[in-house]
Structures are given as C-alpha cells and as structure tokens.
Amino acid sequence: MSAFRFFISLALTLYLACYKPAIAADLNASSQQIYLAEDQQVLPHRYSDIPSWLNKLSQVDRVKLSGGSYWLVKKINISQPNQWIASVDGPIIENIDYYLYSEGNQMRHLSSGYLHPYEYLFSYARHIDTPSLGGYWLITRISSQYYTEQPQLSFGHKSDLSQLYHWRASVITLCLGGLLILAIYNGAVGLVQQDRVFAYFSGYLFSITLALALVFHVAAHLLHLRITQLHLLPVLLIPIFSVLFYCRFLSLQQYAPKLWLASRYLIALCLLSIPVAVIWVNWAVILVYCVILLWVVLALSSALQCWRQGSKQAQLFILSTLLLLIPALLLAMAVVPKNTTTLLAADLSILLSCIFSTLFMSLALHYKFKRLTLESLLVAKQLSEERDAARLDALTGLKNRYAFNEYVSNIEFDEEHHTSLALVDIDYLKSINDHAGHQEGDKLIKLVAEALNMVLSDQVKLYRIGGDEFAAFSDTLSCSEIDEKLAIADKIIQLNGTAQSGISFGSASTDDCQDAEQLFYRADMTMYQQKAQRKRKSKLVALNQQS
C-alpha cells in the first residue's frame, strides 16, 4: 500500500512538473528567437527601432554550453489588461535583464538571475506590469559562464505562472526531502550492519541530493551561497559513489573483471575532472556531461553482464540505470552543437529520473538486506544449535562438563542467594565395563541419568561431568532434600540394573562455603565418604555369605 502511494505521488509530481498553463486568449506571443550579445551593443530607444536593431544581430539556433551572452527575443500582443510574469527557465544563468518595450515607446527594465535576489522560489521569474494594451517586444539579455540546458523565455499571466512556480517549488522540496531521508536511512543501516554497500549507496544519494539542491538554487536561497565554480562538483561525486556501490553490490570483480577495472578508471577520471571543472568553468558542463554519459553506459553494461552471468540482484539495478538513461540522452542532445532540439524542463526530468532510479535501487538493496537478514538468522540459529550441542552429553542428553563450568562461574556466594550442589558417582562402573562390556556400562549410565531426571524433575539442573560422575544444582532444595531424592534414585537404579548397580552421592551448600572450590570439595568429600561406607558394607555382606 505504501508503494502504491509512492507511485501515485510520483505520478502527481510528473504531472505538475510537465504541466504548462494554457495560452491565454488575451495574449499572443511569437516563438523565441536567440541572438548573440556583445558588450558594446546598445539597446534600441524606440519600439519601432527594434526590427532594424535585430537585423544587425547574429541569430543562432541555440546557446553554447560553454557560456556567453545572448539575447532572447519575443514579440507579444496583449488585448486585455492583466498582470504578467516574465521568466527564463534554466538551472544556472548568472545575469538576466528583462526589457519590455511598448508601442507607446515605454520601456520597463528588471534584473534577475542566479547572482540576484529571487522573487519566486527556484525561479528567475519577475512580475511585470504592462502600462497599455497592444504590441510589445520582450528583449532579454542573459549571460553566464556556462549553460546546463537551453534557456526558455516565457511570458504569461501572473496568476497561472505563480501557481505553477509554487507547485513546482513544493514538488522540488518534497523530492529533495525524500532523497535526503533515504540517504540518512541507508547511511544508518550501513553503520549498524557494517556494510559498505549501504554506505556507498548513502553517499550516492547524498551526492544526488546536493547536486539537485544546487541545480534548484537551494544553496542560493537558504545560505546565499552563489559560487558557480563549485556548482557542478557534486555531479562528479555521483559517478564515484555509484561505481563504488555497484562494484560491491553486483560483485563486479567476480562476474566482469574488465568492467570492474574500467569502473575504477572512471573513478580516477572523475577525480581528475574536479580540478579541471573548477579551472575551466566554461567547459565544465561539457566535461561533466561526457563523464555522466560514460558512467551511465558503463553502469548499464556492468549490470547486463552480471545479469547474464547469473546475478539475481542485477535486474532491479538495470531498471534503475535505464531510468537514468533518459536524462542522459537529453544531456547528450545538449552536447551536440548542431542539434536544434529544445530541452524542455531537463532539470525536472533529471529530478524525476533520479527519484525513480533511487526507488528501484532501494528495492534492490531491500532485497539484499532481506536476504542478508535471513542468512544472519540462519547463521545465528545454526550457531545457537551448535552452542547447545557443544554443551550436551551425547550419551545421556544431559548438559556436559563445559556447561557445568559455565554455571559454576556464575554462582553467587552471599547471604541473599542459596545454592545446593550434589555430586553423584556410579558404583562399580569400571568393573561392569571390564566384565560385561562397555555396552552394558553405557546402559547403566543411561539408567542413572533417567533415574536422576525422574526424581529430581525441574527443580534441579543436572549435568554429566565425567565418565561415571554427575552433578546437580538447585536453588530451591536443601542438601537434605536432595539427598532424600538421590536415595530414591539409588533404589530405582538397583531395582532396574545389575546386582552391583547403585550410586554414591554427597552434597554441600553455598551457605557453608566461601567459593566454588570449597563447595565442590565438600560435596566431593561427602560423596567419597558414602562410597567408602558402601564398599565396607559390601565386603561385610560378601564375608557373611562365604561363612
């Protein structure tokens, strides 16, 4: 259900991002014309001089990504009074000057751009009042060290465009916030799991968030940070973290060693491109676009190769990379100088593609995380079973000497705690093994374990600590109570075993001892005293029978 809501919200985002208000009936505007601008050019003084002034300019099809100054010109006819907005759409345009000429030779001048204060969030739009109806020329001079896409000059109703800009700002803020939360979440998972895959993916998301934040002027709005030389640097961090991520996520070194090596070279290329992009700012866009295209192609090739080699988690990575291919193709169209295709809202297309791409990437990571969780649970279960097996005696099923030592180390010797220890030894086990065989001896050991379990029940922790030795701990029974139960077990063993069957036992309490060694010693001495008495009694019985 949450995934459904997410797709619905993204569909709404796509609609709002691509939405353009309908052309108003009271406004007739010509298509945009682009001319080269020079420093010494003088603007026309009158409305009627503009056509001849334009004829003297050099018209071009598009702006160069390496920067420069240009004139964007539109002829407008207004038939009804209204409030208007003029705007140049584009991520980074340092200086924008709007000149609106009316037929009455009145001229309005407004300044905007990346280096100027904003009137609308994430937009260079300016509110313009038209003093009269009729024809207008909207002449806009733009200048920047580089252009990341083709700027578009727009003019429309203030009510329509301002609403669009507000919705656009809300969508951008929502998407950037979602990316930031996703980055923090994956960083936390990587820290907890000690898994570099999640850490690299978090770095990848942080890089995308920072790059898009600069594209949409968040730093200029919030921090008043307007350093165009550093604007494209976060974009170069995206391939670096992406390569580190998919190399480990896809196990690229195992499935495609050559592509893994090429990916390493791409990281080196990105690192070398960072100072180049700072020094040669005019060529930074073309350099960054070429690196991005190379990265997307290499990532897609790596995913396809791993998928062919049998990597199950490469499928979602392929889908996420294909989504990044859409803005990459748009960027490729911007790099080719002779291509006259207009790039409409390339910045928003990149934003939406990144959102969908990270969604599929997160699903792939979720699959990996779920698989790792299941594997860790299986390993934990296996270790628990092995741990329990290491503490059990194979013959009797009782806890062994290792578990006994663990329990003894945790006994507390104080007035608030009471623990009774009973040591049990099987009589004549060695003699039975020598004369009747070890199978009969094993049967006797099992019989003793069953008898002890039966009479001591759940009130006692029972251990087999040697070949013929058992130990029992109780926090609720006193020494005399344990001795009574052990005497019953001795009779059961004698009735169900051989004539020589039986057990000797002795007990001690923490009330009379200061440490575990003393506790064990007293119980042991008591047991051997009883064993000696039983031997003397057996000898007397044997002598009486002979006489």
Q: State the pLDDT at residue 473.
A: 92
Q: If we measure between CA atoms, which residue out of 84, 228, 209, 78 comes closest to residue 144?
A: 228
Measured CA to CA, the distance from residue 67 to residue 63 in angstroms comes to 8
- Give the largest CA-CA distance in the chain: 151
Q: State the pLDDT at residue 544.
A: 61
Task: Return the residue matching tokens 């727009």.
Answer: 154
Whether 327 contacts 346, CB under 8 Å: yes
pLDDT at 334 over 60: no
Measured CA to CA, the distance from residue 62 to residue 491 in angstroms comes to 106
For residue 520, what are its two tokens? Answer: 């064990």
DSSP character string of 62-103:
S--TT-EEEEEEEEEEE-S--EEEEEEE-S--SEEEEEEEET
**In which band, very low, low, confident or very high, does the pLDDT at 8 lie, cut at 50, 70 and 90?**
very low
For 307, the enclosing helix (H) or strand (E) is helix 284-308
Question: Model's pTM, two decimal places?
Answer: 0.61
Q: What is the pLDDT of residues 391-402, one digit of tens each?
A: 888 888 888 888
Q: State the pLDDT at residue 351.
A: 59
In terms of pLDDT, which residue wins out, 277 or 315? 277
**In which band, very low, low, confident or very high, does the pLDDT at 262 lie, cut at 50, 70 and 90?**
very high
Q: Which CATH number fits domain 25-156: 2.60.40.2380, 3.40.30.10, 3.40.630.10, 3.55.40.20?
A: 2.60.40.2380
In terms of pLDDT, which residue wins out, 344 or 196? 196
User: What residues contact 205, with CB distance under 8 A and at least 6 apart?
Assistant: 179, 180, 182, 183, 186, 358
Q: State the pLDDT at residue 324.
A: 65
Q: Is residue 460 left, alpha or beta, with left meaning phi > 0 and alpha meaning psi from -120 to 50? A: beta
In terms of pLDDT, which residue wins out, 353 or 257? 257
Residue 506 CA, chain-centre distance (Å), reads 60
Lowest mean pLDDT among 2-16, 107-121, 412-426: 2-16
Mean pLDDT for the stretch of residues 292-318 = 80
Q: Which CATH number fits domain 401-546: 3.30.365.10, 3.40.640.10, 3.30.70.270, 3.40.1360.10?
A: 3.30.70.270
Q: State the pLDDT at residue 36.
A: 93
Q: If we measure between CA atoms, which residue out of 322, 323, 325, 330 comes closest to residue 347?
A: 330
Q: If we measure between CA atoms, which residue out of 80, 478, 175 comes closest to residue 183?
A: 175
Measured CA to CA, the distance from residue 92 to residue 217 in angstroms comes to 8
Q: State the pLDDT at residue 69.
A: 92
Whether 261 contacts 208, CB under 8 Å: no
DSSP character at residue 397: -
Q: Is 386 helix (H, G, I), strand (E, B) or coil?
A: helix
Measured CA to CA, the distance from residue 155 to residue 169 in angstroms comes to 19
pLDDT at 3 over 60: no
pLDDT at 481 over 80: yes
pLDDT at 456 over 60: yes
Measured CA to CA, the distance from residue 177 to residue 218 in angstroms comes to 12
Q: What is the pLDDT of residues 428-451, one digit of tens each?
A: 888 888 888 888 888 888 989 888
Q: Checking DSSP bridges between strand 107-112 and strand 95-102, what pairing results, if any? A: antiparallel
Q: State the pLDDT at residue 289.
A: 79
Q: Is 156 helix (H, G, I), strand (E, B) or coil?
A: strand
Measured CA to CA, the distance from residue 430 to residue 177 in angstroms comes to 77
Q: How high does pLDDT run on average in the chain?
A: 79
Q: Checking DSSP bridges between strand 83-89 and strand 152-157, what pairing results, if any? A: antiparallel
Rounded (10°) CA dihedral 480, 484, 490, 493: -140
Measured CA to CA, the distance from residue 294 to residue 300 in angstroms comes to 10
Q: Is 108 helix (H, G, I), strand (E, B) or coil?
A: strand
C-alpha dist (Å) from residue 161 to 82, 126, 229: 13, 11, 31
Measured CA to CA, the distance from residue 160 to residue 181 in angstroms comes to 32
- Bridge partner residues of 375 (DSSP): none
For 60, the enclosing helix (H) or strand (E) is strand 59-60
Residue 142 CA, chain-centre distance (Å), reads 41
Which sign, positive or negative, has the C-alpha torsion 385, 386, 390, 395? Answer: positive
Residue 98 CA, chain-centre distance (Å), reads 45
Percent of the chain with pLDDT strictly greater than 70: 83
Q: What is the pLDDT of residues 197-244, one digit of tens each?
A: 888 888 988 988 888 888 777 777 777 777 777 777 888 888 899 889
Q: Where are the domains of the chain?
A: 25-156, 165-382, 401-546
Lowest mean pLDDT among 29-38, 277-286, 479-488, 496-505: 496-505
Q: Is 119 helix (H, G, I), strand (E, B) or coil?
A: coil
Q: If we measure between CA atoms, which residue out of 98, 99, 96, 85 comes closest to residue 47?
A: 99
pLDDT at 2 over 60: no
Measured CA to CA, the distance from residue 420 to residue 511 in angstroms comes to 9
Measured CA to CA, the distance from residue 312 to residue 302 in angstroms comes to 13
Q: State the pLDDT at residue 93.
A: 86
Percent of the chain with pLDDT strictly greater than 90: 11
C-alpha dist (Å) from residue 328 to 13, 346, 347, 425, 486: 20, 10, 11, 81, 83
Q: What is the pLDDT of residues 512-544, one digit of tens each?
A: 888 888 888 888 898 888 888 877 776 665 556
